[in-house]
Chains A and B, each alone.
Chain A
């Protein structure tokens, strides 16, 4: 094999490695940055933060919906499972609680259609002890985020929904 062919082969392998490596690393890297933003650099863990109404200036996460009220709880399961609950919105408005792991996968989701009286579950890592008789979501990663989305397409609805979501809880067992 002559030298030019060897260089061409090395180049092709490097292109493939750069492409695949970036594709595999990107979700964790992007999620890491987002979790840091949402938890104020890791200072606010296992507690809900209630976002303001989405406007054209909202830039925490790409493609926010202007019709939803967002709250988030960046979780850390290193000390054990956490209990998560969300109160219903007024007039049975849409509420969903979704759990995302460090790889960005949506590993659990509950909504107000299934649970009109409010949502409650325990979030744990595999192997952690959880109380009996409760819904349990297993997170493949120690850290991730729980997102509370509520339908609030107007300022008036947002104000009502904002009051309701203040009863949300995300705390160690």
Chain B
């Protein structure tokens, strides 16, 4: 009985430590839990984003990293933090983003820094959208994400973005796209080079 106070103190410490670790794991899950790619690309989206049907983990993740996201009847969001080889997107590298017709009334691709805000640069090129790309006869288009633009290519600046993510927004998506995200032909993100190497 003499060691009872010591046991309570230890128990309180154990409980506090456990709560702190549990809360930390929740924050990590909110920040990174949704960033698991599907298939051969790193893009991920969630059909219940913004919906009353969202599970608690999805709701918490969206609250932290995409507060006030619309539900899929209005907009579908995909995010990637990697290129098609699986490497983390970095402002030190240049990437070609390319694809075909997307099943929506309008779409855009935006660069976000690791803090989930827009990168702190003054390039006035935070995104490119459906009205800027020039599809060829097969509806294929391409754009550049890099720290500097290139003539003739739609450009989103990665200046001061660090290790960043790209978000694809599809507004007024087609019914088929809403019902099955797997039918959406997501753009490719191809690394061209890094650190100024040819």
**Smallest beta-carbon distance B97→chain A, Å:** 16
Chain A contact residue count (CB 8 A cutoff): 52
| Given A15-B25, A23-B57; 8 other pairs, CB 8 A cutoff | A14-B22, A22-B23, A64-B118, A96-B74, A105-B54, A106-B52, A106-B69, A113-B172
Query: Is A129 part of the contact surface with B, judged by Cβ < 8 Å?
Result: no
Q: Which of B53-89 contact A (CB under 8 A)?
A: 54, 56-57, 59-60, 62-71, 73-74
Nearest residue, chain A, Cβ from B113:
A56
Nearest residue, chain B, Cβ from A61:
B67
Question: With A62-B65, A66-B110 as given contacts, are A14 and B14 in contact (CB-CB < 8 Å)?
Answer: yes
Chain B contact residue count (CB 8 A cutoff): 59
Count A/B pairs, Cβ under 8 Å. Answer: 173
Chain B residues within CB distance 8 Å of chain A: 7, 10-11, 14-27, 29-30, 50-52, 54, 56-57, 59-60, 62-71, 73-74, 105-106, 108, 110, 112, 116-122, 126-127, 129, 131, 167, 169, 171-172
> Main SS of the interface on chain B?
mixed
B22 in complex: contacting residue of A17, A98, A145, CB < 8 Å = A17
Query: Is A41 part of the contact surface with B, judged by Cβ < 8 Å?
Result: no
Query: Is A59 part of the contact surface with B, judged by Cβ < 8 Å?
Result: yes
**Smallest beta-carbon distance A109→chain B, Å:** 5
Q: List 23 A-B contacts (CB under 8 A).
A: A10-B14, A14-B18, A15-B18, A17-B19, A18-B20, A19-B26, A23-B56, A23-B60, A24-B60, A27-B59, A27-B60, A55-B126, A56-B122, A57-B120, A63-B65, A65-B108, A94-B106, A104-B67, A105-B52, A105-B54, A106-B74, A109-B71, A109-B73
Q: With the chains together, A67 CA to B74 CA distance in Å?
A: 16
When distances are taken between beta carbons in the complex, the residues of chain B under 8 Å from A98 are: 68, 70, 74
Chain A residues within CB distance 8 Å of chain B: 3, 7, 10-24, 26-27, 30-31, 34, 54-59, 61-67, 94, 96, 98, 100, 103-107, 109, 111, 113, 145, 147, 149, 151, 153
When distances are taken between beta carbons in the complex, the residues of chain B under 8 Å from A34 are: 67-68
Asked if B17 and A66 sit within 8 Å, CB to CB, the answer is: no
Q: With the chains together, A106 CA to B74 CA distance in Å?
A: 11
When distances are taken between beta carbons in the complex, the residues of chain B under 8 Å from A113 are: 105, 172
**Smallest beta-carbon distance B175→chain A, Å:** 13
Q: With the chains together, A35 CA to B100 CA distance in Å?
A: 39
B18 in complex: contacting residue of A13, A24, A55, CB < 8 Å = A13
Nearest residue, chain B, Cβ from A3:
B7
Question: With A15-B22, A67-B127 as given contacts, are A94 and B30 in contact (CB-CB < 8 Å)?
Answer: no
